[in-house]
Amino acid sequence: MFTSWLPTSAHLLSRGRAQDQLHAHAAEAARARFGSRVFVRAVVEVSNYCRENCQYCGMRRDNRALDRYRAEFDSLADLLLNHRPASVTDINFQTGEDPVAAREVVLPLLRLLRSETGLGLSVCLGTLSQSLAGELRAAGAQVYIIKFEIADAARYSAFEAPGILDERIAYIRWLAAEGWAVSSGFIAGLPRATIEAELQNLRFAATLPLRGCSVSPFIPGEATPLSDSPVAPVDLTLNCMAAVRLMRPDWVIPAVSALNLAGPGAGYRRGLRTGANLCTINLTPDSVRSDYLLYKRDRFIMNEERILEALAAERLEPSTESLADSLSSAPSLVAA
């Protein structure tokens, strides 16, 4: 479902009553399309090795102080087959950009879960070779999560975001053409980002062949060149989320766990009030979780109990249909 609605600077800067109205409209748009159901997936952070060097991420390759890990197939297989929370309908495998982990750990896990379970399967593994992406798809993965991060090519390069923006966008378009349901996203509130830069991110997202889009608040990462920069304003992040929802009522929009850091106390639940319709339970094993250093070691971990509490408090309910099944049964509405 496309709308001709596009956000303005007034939307992104709104506070008080105007902001409440913006968020209420976004929540209504989500409820009209998805009802009160919210998808609940689990993420497993399989590897923190990364060949990229994004200035905003603690797992960048120049962070030599970080203990690197690659989780083992056997322990993750047992976790996912025998110990996953009951509300989970989908699994997302996430890594730094580490093709070794994609091939040696994620690929066999996908095959196992496809044969043993009816779970929806997503991957967030960065830019891989077309042949490896094809193997992941053949193994049963349906959703590919790959954020464009920053729409402006010069800023993308200045922040050392992965590879080259044009190549990342070409990869997104190739994935969609290959039949993947692609979800992308961007970072709100990066250092020196103007409101026009945020609007550019939103307008750019609307041009891509996506089924979902995240808005992640910038959190200054430990051991990064941006560690002394301020956290993104949670209100800006929430207004961007509402704007995405109003631009694309049919998209899947996650309530990202970083909302807990940008808006301690109520940030996550406020995300659900802007029309977010996807929650993520972190299932990364305790032994390695603190080394998955997107921002800080002191992470706010969303477990099943916290997510179900947040949903109940917002009068929402976990979907029993998987995200992957929902996307494959709904018509693909691909932007030009």
**Shortest distance, CB of residue 54 to ligand SF4, whole angstroms?**
3
Q: How far apart are CA 294 and CA 279, in angstroms?
A: 18
Q: By C-beta, is 59 or 205 nearer to ligand SF4?
A: 59
Q: By C-beta, is 140 or 221 nearer to ligand SF4?
A: 221
Q: By C-beta, is 126 or 140 nearer to ligand SF4?
A: 126
**Shortest distance, CB of residue 220 to ligand SF4, whole angstroms?**
14
Q: Find where tokens 């959703």 sit.
A: 143
Q: By C-beta, is 58 or 120 nearer to ligand SF4?
A: 58
Question: E strand or H helix at 145, and its extent?
Answer: strand 143-145
**Shortest distance, CB of residue 46 to ligand SF4, whole angstroms?**
12
Q: Find where tokens 């304003």 sit.
A: 233
Q: By C-beta, is 27 or 145 nearer to ligand SF4?
A: 145
Sequence-separated (6 or more) residues with CB below 8 Å from residue 287: none
Query: In sequence order, what are the beta bridge partners of 91?
Result: 42, 121
**Shortest distance, CB of residue 113 to ligand SF4, whole angstroms?**
23
H-type helices in 35-152, by residue range?
73-82, 99-101, 107-116, 130-138
Question: E strand or H helix at 44, and its extent?
Answer: strand 37-47
- Can you give the binding site for ligand SF4, defined by CB under 6 A? 50, 52, 54, 57, 59-60, 96-97, 126, 162
Buried b or exposed e, range 178-188, using 16+ CB within 10 angstroms: eebbbbbbbbb
Q: How far apart are CA 227 and CA 235, in angstroms?
A: 21
Burial of residue 77, with CB atoms counted within 10 A of its CB: 0-12 exposed, 13-18 middle, 19 or more buried: middle
Q: How far apart are CA 79 and CA 99, in angstroms?
A: 22
Q: By C-beta, is 55 or 322 nearer to ligand SF4?
A: 55
**Shortest distance, CB of residue 218 to ligand SF4, whole angstroms?**
12
**Shortest distance, CB of residue 180 to ligand SF4, whole angstroms?**
19
Are 110 and 141 in contact, with CB atoms under 8 Å apart? yes
Q: By C-beta, is 27 or 59 nearer to ligand SF4?
A: 59
**Shortest distance, CB of residue 155 to ligand SF4, whole angstroms?**
15
